[in-house]
Amino acid sequence: MLLRKAGESVNFRFMKHIVMGTAGHVDHGKTALIKRLTGVDTDRLKEEKERGITIELGFASLSLPGGKILGVVDVPGHERFVKNMVAGAAGIDLVAMVIAADEGVMPQTREHLHICTLLGIRKGVVVLTKTDLVDGEWLDLVREDVRAFLKGTFLEASPIVPVSALTGAGFAELLSTIERTAGEVEEGADIGLFRLPVDRVFTMKGFGTVVTGTLTSGKVATGEEVEISPLGLRTRVRGIQVHNRTVETAEAGQRTAINLQGTDRAVIERGYLLVGPGALTPSQRLDCTYRHLTVAGRKLKNRTLVRLHTGTSEIMARVILLDRDELESGGDGFAQLVLEAPLAAVAGDRFVVRSYSPVTTIGGGVIIDPLPTKHKRSSAVVLREFKLLAEGGDAEKAAVILERAGIGGITENLLIVRTGIPGRELRRLLEGMFSAKRAVLVDRDEMRVLSAPVYEDFQAAIARELQGYHERYPLKGGLSREELRTTLGMGDGVGQKIFTMALRDLEKKGELIAEKEMIRLAGHRVRLQGEMGSLRESLSAIYREGALAPPTVREILERFPDRQKEITSLFQVMTHEGELIRISEDLNFHRDSLAKLRDEYRQLLVREGEATPASFKELTGLSRKFIIPLMEYFDMTKLTMRAGDHRILRERQEK
């Protein structure tokens, strides 16, 4: 079934499986209503029977005239058990707001309405019960009252149906109204990950441990492995029941009972989740939008300790207000919740906050990043990110989470959890980001993705690191790949992969040069500054003046007794650059002197056909100390070759 409004291209589907929950003040007839509708007395505890009051959640199935079966959750109305009510309301799509005609709107009518609103419930039927106790005139008054009360809420336009559980009056109309309203429930975005917040745990003779809950998303099949979150414990599904019937699979929106293999009942409690193995990561920080209810009555101060309810869990948490020091009642703000125990959540999950004492509902909101780091308060960058996560489109949300993931990138699965964008839509979005160069694919196997701005910053950091290194060590040609990697804090595995990728990209852009294991900036020349520069000039002068009879290396070192290290480095730099030519352990010559000698020596060889130590001595006027190494040098550099005890021109021979 598709519905399309004129000019609207987005399709929405009606939900397949629906859970209806009750809401309303204690003693207003919720349990009696469900019993009349389904035949099930949901007050099954001994204490509930004795006190005539609902404490725990009750469960039933409602067969509608058209054949559809609704899951039903009956919640307690008493002030003391609102905690259980919130857990029950977490999985419902449709609320039966029960108001007794003789009493009208009462405190928990209001509180439950707030909770349903905060949890994002969009549809409901208002049931005026106990009509047998009032006359027609009174009923009209109450109906008017209730309408006024609902004004501006999600139930504003909902049907109001008067009934009596005692006489059965109004139940035919109620049933058809529920059926019609159930048909209007729209399907939310299912992110596809299997999630079942546990609302009950019990042992069944012959079966062992059974947990129940409403499947938030995804599906589960008999035999599959599941994880108990946040324990991280893995187990297998032994059997599944939906509406009291054994089934092979259960889907999103179904009230489900799951028999777990070999799991001790004592390890599981309400509030835990069954999830796909490794699919969700528990965290003790949640970024969220927060609305402080007008009924809260007083301001919410930064760091207030509250009771956080999400899914079926209740966890103590501190509210860190990021954009202010206190929030007025009726106000909206950005907050990070710091939890006393870890919780696996998904972006888009809603929550309710109750004050520590007295215990009343004071606010709630939407989780916009379930795995954030600690933030600086009042930081413009942080607040900008919150705004995008809270109000932006899918592309903006994905960009923020990618940026938050940093240089390690993030897998597609985790991106689904942290943005709440369903897999197929996210894949399409990512492909677009790749071609627009706003994201970089690191690994196709695990679909690891990296934010392009973060990647560019990282490349700039590499260049900066190299620049700094060249400045600190002007005499070194570069630094080793490994040293650079550790300095930048890139670990093994993913870190190594991204580091290698960045080096390759920088090399392609011509910004750096990698020679074997050495990395340097493309523009880097060994440059000498200050004292090193003048030392170099002195050395240069010594060799120019020394011409073909320069001092030995040892003699020069003796001349600069407290500059040994610098002189040794300078010899390296100057020979590396070619200004000095090293012809033996102890002898260097200036490049220009050797070039001049080479010309004269060649002319001699051309003229005379050969050369001997004697004719070389005549040419240069040098002593044996220089003659032998120099003649050998010219052999080595292939100007000459030995022929017996004399040299001939090799260049000519080779022509």
Size of the site for Mg ion (CB under 5 A): 3
- Please answer whether residues 36 and 171 qualify as being in contact, where contact means their C-beta atoms are separated by less than 8 angstroms: yes
Residue with tokens 């001994």: 46
Minimum Å gap between C-beta 156 and ligand GDP is: 23
640 binds, among Mg ion, ligand GDP, none (CB under 5 to 8 A by kind): none
Q: Where in 52-111 is the site for ligand GDP (CB under 6 A)?
A: 52, 54, 77
Of 22-30, 218-226, 280-288, 384-392: span binding Mg ion (CB under 5 A): 22-30
Nearest to 393 by CA among 432, 363, 365: 432
- Please answer whether residues 354 and 306 qualify as being in contact, where contact means their C-beta atoms are separated by less than 8 angstroms: yes
**Could you give the string, one character per residue 593-622, with x where binding to ligand GDP holds by CB under 6 A and - elsewhere?**
------------------------------
187 binds, among ligand GDP, Mg ion, none (CB under 5 to 8 A by kind): none
Question: DSSP alpha helices (H): ranges in 158-213?
Answer: 171-182
Question: Kind of pairing, strands 225-229 and 200-204?
Answer: unpaired
Closer CB to ligand GDP, residue 100 or residue 260? 100
- Burial string for 72-97 (b: 16+ CB within 10 Å, else e) reads bbbbbbbeebbebbbbbbbbbbbbbb
Closer CB to ligand GDP, residue 160 or residue 548? 160
Closer CB to ligand GDP, residue 31 or residue 256? 31
Closer CB to Mg ion, residue 30 or residue 404? 30
Please state, in angstroms and rounded to a whole number, the distance separating the CA atoms of residues 22 and 178.
Answer: 12
Of 48-56, 109-117, 147-155, 497-505: span binding Mg ion (CB under 5 A): 48-56
Q: What's the chain's Rg over C-alpha atoms?
A: 40
Using CB atoms, what's the residue nearest to ligand GDP? 29
Beta bridge partner(s), residue 591: none
Closer CB to ligand GDP, residue 164 or residue 256? 164
588 forms part of the interface with Mg ion (CB under 5 A):
no
Q: Write the DSSP symbol of residue 643.
A: E
Work out which of 164, 209, 229, 620 binds ligand GDP, going by CB under 6 A.
Answer: 164
Please state, in angstroms and rounded to a whole number, the distance separating the CA atoms of residues 466 and 511.
Answer: 11
Closer CB to ligand GDP, residue 172 or residue 522? 172
Give the number of C-alpha atoms closer than 13 A to the C-alpha of residue 456, restricted to the C-beta side. Answer: 6
Work out which of 18, 25, 29, 31 binds Mg ion, going by CB under 5 A.
Answer: 31
Work out which of 17, 130, 255, 270 binds ligand GDP, going by CB under 6 A.
Answer: 130
Minimum Å gap between C-beta 29 and ligand GDP is: 3
Minimum Å gap between C-beta 284 and ligand GDP is: 36
Closer CB to ligand GDP, residue 52 or residue 67? 52
Closer CB to ligand GDP, residue 130 or residue 448? 130
- Please answer whether residues 569 and 527 qualify as being in contact, where contact means their C-beta atoms are separated by less than 8 angstroms: no
Of 23-31, 93-101, 268-276, 311-319: span binding Mg ion (CB under 5 A): 23-31
Q: How many residues does the chain have?
A: 655
30 forms part of the interface with Mg ion (CB under 5 A):
yes
129 forms part of the interface with ligand GDP (CB under 6 A):
yes
Minimum Å gap between C-beta 30 and Mg ion is: 5
Q: Distance between alpha carbon 230 and the CA centroid of its chain, in Å?
A: 18
Closer CB to ligand GDP, residue 31 or residue 620? 31
536 forms part of the interface with Mg ion (CB under 5 A):
no
What region, left, alpha or beta, does residue 143 occupy, with left being phi > 0 and alpha being psi -120 to 50 degrees?
A: alpha
108 forms part of the interface with Mg ion (CB under 5 A):
no
Of 30-38, 95-103, 108-116, 543-551: span binding Mg ion (CB under 5 A): 30-38
Closer CB to ligand GDP, residue 27 or residue 579? 27
Of 125-133, 199-207, 548-556, 599-607: span binding ligand GDP (CB under 6 A): 125-133
Minimum Å gap between C-beta 249 and ligand GDP is: 33
Q: Where in 271-310 is the site for Mg ion (CB under 5 A)?
A: none
Nearest to 215 by CA among 229, 196, 201: 196
Minimum Å gap between C-beta 46 and ligand GDP is: 15
132 forms part of the interface with ligand GDP (CB under 6 A):
yes
Give the number of C-alpha atoms closer than 13 A to the C-alpha of residue 410, restricted to the C-beta side. Answer: 24
Of 129-137, 524-532, 539-547, 637-645: span binding ligand GDP (CB under 6 A): 129-137
Minimum Å gap between C-beta 17 and ligand GDP is: 25
Torsion of CA 136, 140, 143, 144, to 10 degrees: -170
Please state, in angstroms and rounded to a whole number, the distance separating the CA atoms of residues 350 and 370.
Answer: 11
Minimum Å gap between C-beta 57 and Mg ion is: 10
Please state, in angstroms and rounded to a whole number, the distance separating the CA atoms of residues 95 and 127.
Answer: 10
350 binds, among Mg ion, ligand GDP, none (CB under 5 to 8 A by kind): none
Of 124-132, 322-330, 465-473, 597-605: span binding ligand GDP (CB under 6 A): 124-132
28 binds, among Mg ion, ligand GDP, none (CB under 5 to 8 A by kind): ligand GDP
Dihedrals phi, psi of 319, to nearest 5 degrees: -95, 110
Going along 230-369, which residue ranges are E strands?
A: 233-242, 245-247, 249-251, 255-260, 273-275, 283-292, 300-301, 304-310, 313-321, 326-327, 332-343, 350-355, 361-369
Q: Which two tokens stand for residue 341?
A: 């125990």
Please state, in angstroms and rounded to a whole number, the distance separating the CA atoms of residues 98 and 104.
Answer: 10
Q: Write the DSSP symbol of residue 479.
A: E
- Please answer whether residues 601 and 651 qualify as being in contact, where contact means their C-beta atoms are separated by less than 8 angstroms: no
Q: Where in 1-40 is the site for ligand GDP (CB under 6 A)?
A: 26-32
What region, left, alpha or beta, does residue 432 occupy, with left being phi > 0 and alpha being psi -120 to 50 degrees?
A: alpha
Q: Distance between alpha carbon 160 and the CA centroid of its chain, in Å?
A: 44
Minimum Å gap between C-beta 35 and ligand GDP is: 7
Question: Kind of pairing, strands 123-129 and 160-162?
Answer: parallel
54 forms part of the interface with Mg ion (CB under 5 A):
yes
Closer CB to ligand GDP, residue 170 or residue 348? 170
> By the criterion CB under 6 A, which residues form the site for ligand GDP?
26-32, 52, 54, 77, 129-130, 132-133, 164-166
Residues forming the site for Mg ion (CB under 5 A): 30-31, 54
